Amino acid sequence: MPRFFVKEENISDDQILIVGNDAGHIGRSLRMKIGDEITLCCNNTDYCCKISSISDTAVVADILSKNKTQSEPGISLVLFQAVPKSDKLDFVVQKASELGAVMVVPVLTRRCVSRPDKKVFEKKRQRLQKIAEEAAKQSGRGIIPEVGEIIDIKEYYELIEGFDLNLFCYEGGGRRFCDIETLKIAKNISLFVGSEGGFDENEAEEASKRGAILVTLGKRILRCETAPICAISIIMNITGNI
Amino acid sequence: MPRFFVKEENISDDQILIVGNDAGHIGRSLRMKIGDEITLCCNNTDYCCKISSISDTAVVADILSKNKTQSEPGISLVLFQAVPKSDKLDFVVQKASELGAVMVVPVLTRRCVSRPDKKVFEKKRQRLQKIAEEAAKQSGRGIIPEVGEIIDIKEYYELIEGFDLNLFCYEGGGRRFCDIETLKIAKNISLFVGSEGGFDENEAEEASKRGAILVTLGKRILRCETAPICAISIIMNITGNI
């Protein structure tokens, strides 16, 4: 069944209003009609609805039932991704969204070759946010993962203490995911993956000093866009979410 | 250190000959010189070598030492991938090679939209084989994963008994990877992932009847090119190879 995210302000007790591109998409592209059923989603709640009026700019749907979205993982996983070259971040945001991350935060580290200005990045961020929304719709998520503003690695160090568990993928060696006992019980996890050149030794040392756990992704050298997908898959498996 | 795959026939007791594109690449693109060290790899053995002569068409290197490649997984994993649309197979072959698969076999299933003819596919297969080689070089593999000829799902059913363990990713439900006890000890594993439309119920039933285990990739709907990456990552983790 077609699935769209709606804003809380557009939900009343018995009806939901859909506006913007989604309204046009429902009528024109999907050719849905009055009486058709549709799933609308907001803040981890799925609303099973029946369309009651339809135009190019607005669709109104009657709420038939509502339920907690079944597909959301039981953990909150934030991916900190050192900014990679070209359009690899598009790919990372799409795949992280499918696999269940709640947020992707682009980070500037010492070895980042691509170093966009915060203001210049804002336009790209909006595009990435749309990619996250599309991936969330397609994969049946209960929320749209957020794409954060670009931060410096120094800001990451400060954020570490806000999580139960911080995993830092380091090609210089680290523990295996399986051997981290707290991973099985942590609810609020951060994962940091480097850019093409990986991390500087000092960066890994500082992260470790602040409480992050250095982890290994094995003996094969994964591309910087493969590493987060691999790590998220493993984390979701170990925490019982895949 | 630069890394290239060489053919067994080009290895003598104390020297290795590099011909073809790689020879030109070493001299022109990498600007390597006589006396430079290079890693050459064949059949899961790494040869640490020193270049002794160099031209656009041939490079000769003296063998300094040889060792078993350290990066190869301890399991043999063959990915059977139902043929997806557009160029998604390029992506799947690249990522499966990085993550440690030994072979990728494209399969025609009932729901494949893209249905290339075996002969037409042969040209594409050669291109995919090059993608596998590049990914193997970059990730430090000890072998070049093979891209198989396209087969029909009926041929897959026949191949099942050649493996210790056959995992069949089914969106209609299955066991969690973690719950499959034999996964921890299996050495020779096959993994089957569907195309955009997933698998037909009859296909899953037949695979199961033949001995394959239906597995789930969780409650989120993964794209057909994300699913194999996610599944291989989890398998490599559970078997101790990540």
| CATH (domain of A161) | 3.40.1280.10
Minimum Cα–Cα distance from B70: chain A residue: A219
pLDDT score at A2: 82
Residue B112 shares a structural domain with residue B63 = no
- Judgement on whether residues B54 and B88 belong to the same structural domain of the protein: no
Comparing CB atoms, the residue among B95, B222, B240 nearest residue A226 is B95
Tokens 């790689």: give the residue.
Answer: B22
Mean pLDDT confidence for A12-20? 95
Residue B2 is predicted with a pLDDT of: 82
Query: Rounded CA gap, B125 and B133, in Å?
Result: 12
Range of the domain at B168: 76-238
Best interface-test mutation with A: which of B93, B102, B219 has the largest number of A CBs within 10 A?
Answer: B219
Confidence (pLDDT) at A115: 93
Residues B53 and B80 in one domain: no
Per-residue pLDDT reduced to its tens digit, A45-71: 999 999 999 998 999 999 999 999 999
pTM listed for this prediction: 0.96
Q: Which pLDDT value is given to residue B214?
A: 98
Best residue in A3, A237, A239, A241 for a mutation probing chain B (most B CBs within 10 Å): A237
Are B91 and B136 contained in the same domain?
yes
Q: Given this model, what pLDDT does residue B1 score?
A: 79
Please give the interface size between A and B, counted as residue pairs whose CB atoms are below 8 Å apart: 105
Residue with tokens 């991938």: B81
Is the backbone of residue A87 left (phi > 0), alpha (psi -120 to 50) or beta? alpha
Q: Which two tokens stand for residue B101?
A: 């698969």
Give the 3-state secondary structure of chain B.
CCEEECCHHHECCCEEEEECHHHHHHHHHCCCCCCCEEEEEECCEEEEEEEEEECCCEEEEEEEEEEECCCCCCCEEEEEEECCCCCHHHHHHHHHHHHCCCEEEEEECCCCCCCCCHHHHHHHHHHHHHHHHHHHHHHCCCCCCEECCCEEHHHHHHHHHHCCEEEEECCCCCECHHHCHHHHCCCEEEEEECECCECCHHHHHHHHHCCCEEECCCCCCCCCCHHHHHHHHHHHHHCCCC
Same structural domain, A121 and A169? yes
The residue in chain A having the minimum alpha-carbon distance to the alpha carbon of residue B232 is A230
Q: B23, B40, B68 — which closes off a domain? A: B68
Q: Judge if A30 and A103 occupy the same domain.
A: no
Same structural domain, A116 and A233: yes
* B91-127 pLDDT, tens digit each: 999 999 999 999 999 999 999 999 999 888 999 999 9
Domain count of chain A?
Answer: 2
Of the listed ranges A96-105, A112-121, B179-188, the one predicted with least confidence: A112-121
Same domain for A180 and A85: yes
What is the structure's pLDDT at A10?
96
Domain containing residue B45: CATH number: 2.40.240.20
Q: Which residues of chain A does B140 touch, with a Cβ-Cβ cutoff of 8 Å?
A: 219-221
Boundary (domain end) residue, out of B49, B68, B87: B68
Of the residues B18, B51, B68, which one is the last residue of a structural domain?
B68
- pLDDT, one tens digit per residue, over A151-186 is 999 999 999 999 999 999 999 999 999 999 999 999
Same domain, B138 and B211: yes
The 10s digit of each residue's pLDDT in B159-201 is 999 999 999 999 999 999 999 999 999 999 999 999 999 999 9
- Residue in A153, A160, A144, A130 with CA at minimum distance from that of residue A101: A144
pLDDT at B56: 87
Task: Clarify whether residues A29 and A83 are in a common domain.
Answer: no
Residue A1 has pLDDT above 90, yes or no: no
If asked whether residues A133 and A163 sit together in one domain, one would say: yes
* Domain co-membership, B80 together with B61: no
Strands A45-54 and A37-42: antiparallel
